[in-house]
Amino acid sequence: MTAAPGAGFVAFSQRWLARVETALRELLPPADMPPRTLHAAMHHAMFPGGKRLRPMLGLLGCSATGGDLERALRPSAALELLHTYSLVHDDLPCMDDDDLRRGRPTCHKVFGEAAALLAGDALLTLAFEGVAAGGAAAVATLARAAGCLGMVGGQMADLEAEGGAGERSLAAVRWIHDRKTGALITASLLVGALAGQRPGRAPLPDALRQMLGDYGDRLGRAFQIADDCLDLTGTAAELGKNPLADLAHDKLTWPAIVGLPASLRQAQELADAAVAMAPAIVFEAASWQQVPIDALDEARGLLQDAALYAVHRRS
Amino acid sequence: MTAAPGAGFVAFSQRWLARVETALRELLPPADMPPRTLHAAMHHAMFPGGKRLRPMLGLLGCSATGGDLERALRPSAALELLHTYSLVHDDLPCMDDDDLRRGRPTCHKVFGEAAALLAGDALLTLAFEGVAAGGAAAVATLARAAGCLGMVGGQMADLEAEGGAGERSLAAVRWIHDRKTGALITASLLVGALAGQRPGRAPLPDALRQMLGDYGDRLGRAFQIADDCLDLTGTAAELGKNPLADLAHDKLTWPAIVGLPASLRQAQELADAAVAMAPAIVFEAASWQQVPIDALDEARGLLQDAALYAVHRRS
């Protein structure tokens, strides 16, 4: 029996999931701590969670650079706080005005708009508290990727492009994809890599950082094109939300420009390009860490599986 | 001629204002960078600014601990990004629903709710990018003070207390004050102190950090009680907003519980307590930095003047 493409990354995620959940529960104040509405809203948004992809990418970035996964755990988990804040704010009435998220009522439907707004603000802030445990460079990397030149900028451009306004070109979609999703995917890998390094060592070499960033950019593009395709091909049960939602909002997506078959092919090409980069990344990491290349063999496989997972997942 | 109480801190602020403005303009992307609506909304919220109190408190915290003001400048300026995000989100329709801020239309009145929400998110994120230049400890300190156990928590409790709901006691007001305003005031001093320390030195001693924090807590309480009083005694020209706004919203304020005369007296007592702490703070800082106590004489005066300024200002 052949394993499904990306199975190694799925198994890695399943192995780490309980640890990530524990780290998240340690980061968040209890749901019944005053002000209760705020903390309950934060918990509602965070639990139960999904695949915790960004924390897993953080741990992958750590693993691929020979870092210490225990050190990277808390900062990596904190990436999910940042991702979740973006969902809570995206769902607000002045944004996408969504009532459901992962099959449950959205935060503002349960707790009201003010509490949802503040819960998002608090999750974003708490993300930086968690990532601070990984050092100032991890914080700066995440902030740059998540801010107006990254995720928030992509969100703004995505909103403006809705309903057919603005330029509808592949360049415009890529601009939005790279910022709205890609920036945080790449930053997750880098935050894990930076946070996992043992103290007293030389900082992560620029060349290695660059290679991991390039890998992340390809992974992020593949992931987001695949996401656009899933909106067209997935079922409500697989997605946990209604398919064709992008179409209903007249969102600017990859298949909206080049069609579904070309989109699927291009996502696979990007994933293949990411797969091809894995050996060079771990070679560079092994030289830097002065360990035999074999020590990073599992990490190489994980980098490759993560890229395949991005395009072969069904949710 | 006798100088007004707090004049030394006002003069210090005026001396640093242009540098802070320059640092803020360096932190923000240009207003016409895409996505233009987002960056224009961020600039609208940030410029022209007011007194930039929190950056000045950052520089004060640096000065009081014998730090390097040049090193503390950028992280201190970034505190204003965080303060401004909180104003932008507070003004939104689902929160205070304010049309005017410092005599100008609020961010969402000019750019719409979605852009204002995202501009606030981006300012908060950018604040952490700026503070990251001051090290991971500064980031963690700020995040803790600004999050659900600090400023955002205070904001939530303040909203819930509006319109006469909830407990109307002095303890409830103090709980809100300490979080909504006090936490960021204290964190500003600490961020400046942490960011201003020269590299390769021992970290800020816990005792000194604690003393500066205690000073900040008193300053913050004095500042917020004085603020509540200004809502009753100030003119629209002085405040840049309509007086009696707290009354109109039936906000839970200090004078609403103990009356105006007792509030004014208690604010002064808190300021006096802060003034009395200044010599011990600079003594501790001078011992740690191994400099003569005279070297921190100006800093001692500034700490005292900042406390007096908090209660004697007219805006």
Residues of B in contact with A121 (CB under 8 A): 85, 89, 120-121, 124, 152
DSSP summary character for residue B104:
E
The packing angle between helices A206-233 and A260-289, to 10°, is 150
Residues of A in contact with B92 (CB under 8 A): 117
* pLDDT band, residue B2 (cuts 50/70/90): low
Query: Mean pLDDT of successive 10-residue segments in chain A (315 residues)?
Result: 86 98 98 97 97 98 98 98 98 94 94 98 98 98 98 95 80 95 98 94 94 98 96 82 77 93 97 98 96 96 98 90
**Are B34 and A157 inside 8 Å of each other by CB?**
yes
Contacts of A91 (CB under 8 A, 6+ apart): A97, A98, A101, A106, A107, A108, A116
Arithmetic mean of pLDDT, B115-140? 98
Distance of CA A89 to the CA centre of its chain: 16
Give the CA diameter of chain B.
55
Provide the b/e sequence for A155-193 (b: ≥16 CB within 10 Å): bbbbbbbeeeeeeeeeeebbbbbbbbbbbbbbbbbbbbb
Cβ contacts from A onto B, under 8 A: 143
Residue with tokens 């990306």: A6
Q: What percent of chain B has pLDDT over 70?
A: 98
Q: How far apart are CA B144 and CA A125, in angstroms?
A: 8
Asked if the model's pLDDT at residue B310 lies above 80, the reply is yes
Q: How far apart are CA A306 and CA A271, in angstroms?
A: 9
DSSP summary character for residue B180:
I
Q: Which helix (H) or strand (E) holds B93?
A: none
Task: Output the 3-class SS for chain A.
Answer: CCCCCCHHHHHHHHHHHHHHHHHHHHHCCCCCCCCHHHHHHHHHHHCCCCCCHHHHHHHHHHHHCCCCHHHHHHHHHHHHHHHHHHHHHHHCCCCCCCCEECCEECHHHHHCHHHHHHHHHHHHHHHHHHHHCCCHHHHHHHHHHHCCCCHHHHHHHHHHHHHHCCCCCHHHHHHHHHHHHHHHHHHHHHHHHHHHCCCCCCCCCHHHHHHHHHHHHHHHHHHHHHHHHHHHHCCHHHHCCCCCHHHHCCCCCHHHHHCHHHHHHHHHHHHHHHHHHHHHHHHHHHHHHCCCHHHHHHHHHHHHHHHHHHHHCCC
Q: How far apart are CA B174 and CA B256, in angstroms?
A: 12
* pLDDT band, residue B123 (cuts 50/70/90): very high
Assess contact for A107 and A91: CB atoms under 8 A. Answer: yes
Q: What angle do CA B4, B9, B14 make, to 5 degrees?
A: 105
Decide if A4 touches B, using CB distance below 8 A. no
Decide if A310 touches B, using CB distance below 8 A. no
Residues of A in contact with B114 (CB under 8 A): 94-95, 156, 159
Taking CA–CA distances from A116, the nearest residue in chain B reads: B94
Residue with tokens 């390769």: B200
Give me the pLDDT at residue B47, please.
98
* pLDDT band, residue B235 (cuts 50/70/90): confident
SS3 content of chain B, % helix, strand, coil (to 5): 75, 0, 25
Distance of CA B244 to the CA centre of its chain: 22
Distance of CA A218 to the CA centre of its chain: 13
**Are B118 and A39 inside 8 Å of each other by CB?**
no
DSSP summary character for residue B163:
G
Give me the pLDDT at residue B99, please.
92
Decide if B144 touches A, using CB distance below 8 A. yes
Of B3, B5, B16, B1, the closest CA to residue B306 belongs to: B5
pLDDT digits (tens, 9 = 90+) for B60-116: 999 999 999 999 999 999 999 999 999 999 999 999 999 999 889 999 999 999 999
Residue with tokens 């224009």: B40
Facing A128 at nearest CB: one of B133, B139, B157: B139
Interface test with B, best of A84, A118, A131, A197 (most B CBs within 10 A): A118
Decide if B95 touches A, using CB distance below 8 A. yes
Q: How far apart are CA B59 and CA B73, in angstroms?
A: 7
Task: Tell me the one-letter amino acid at A49.
Answer: G
Give the B window 25-54 contacts with A, CB below 8 Å. 29, 34-35, 37-39, 42
Domain boundaries, chain B: 7-312
* pLDDT band, residue B192 (cuts 50/70/90): very high
The pTM for the full model equals 0.97
Output B248 or B197, whichever has higher pLDDT.
B197
Cis peptide before B35 (omega within 30 of 0): yes
Residues of A in contact with B42 (CB under 8 A): 148
Q: How far apart are CA A211 and CA B184, in angstroms?
A: 39
Q: Which residues pair with B105 in a beta bridge?
A: B100
Please give, rounded to a whole number of angstroms, the shortest distance from the CA of A314 to a CA of chain B: 30
Mean pLDDT over the full length of chain B: 94
Q: What angle do CA B196, B198, B203 make, to 5 degrees?
A: 85
Residues of A in contact with B98 (CB under 8 A): none
Decide if A133 touches B, using CB distance below 8 A. yes
Decide if A124 touches B, using CB distance below 8 A. yes
Decide if A89 touches B, using CB distance below 8 A. yes
Q: Which helix (H) or strand (E) holds B105?
A: strand B104-105
**Are A124 and B124 inside 8 Å of each other by CB?**
yes
Residues of A in contact with B155 (CB under 8 A): 118
Top-level CATH class of A7-312?
mainly alpha
**Are B148 and A115 inside 8 Å of each other by CB?**
no
What tokens were used for B18? 């242009």
Decide if B165 touches A, using CB distance below 8 A. no
Decide if A139 touches B, using CB distance below 8 A. yes
Distance of CA B134 to the CA centre of its chain: 18
* pLDDT band, residue B197 (cuts 50/70/90): very high
**Are B156 and A35 inside 8 Å of each other by CB?**
yes
C-alpha pair distances (Å), A42 with each of A36, A45, A112, A241, B156 = 10, 5, 12, 21, 12
Q: How far apart are CA B143 and CA B90, in angstroms?
A: 18
**Are B117 and A128 inside 8 Å of each other by CB?**
no
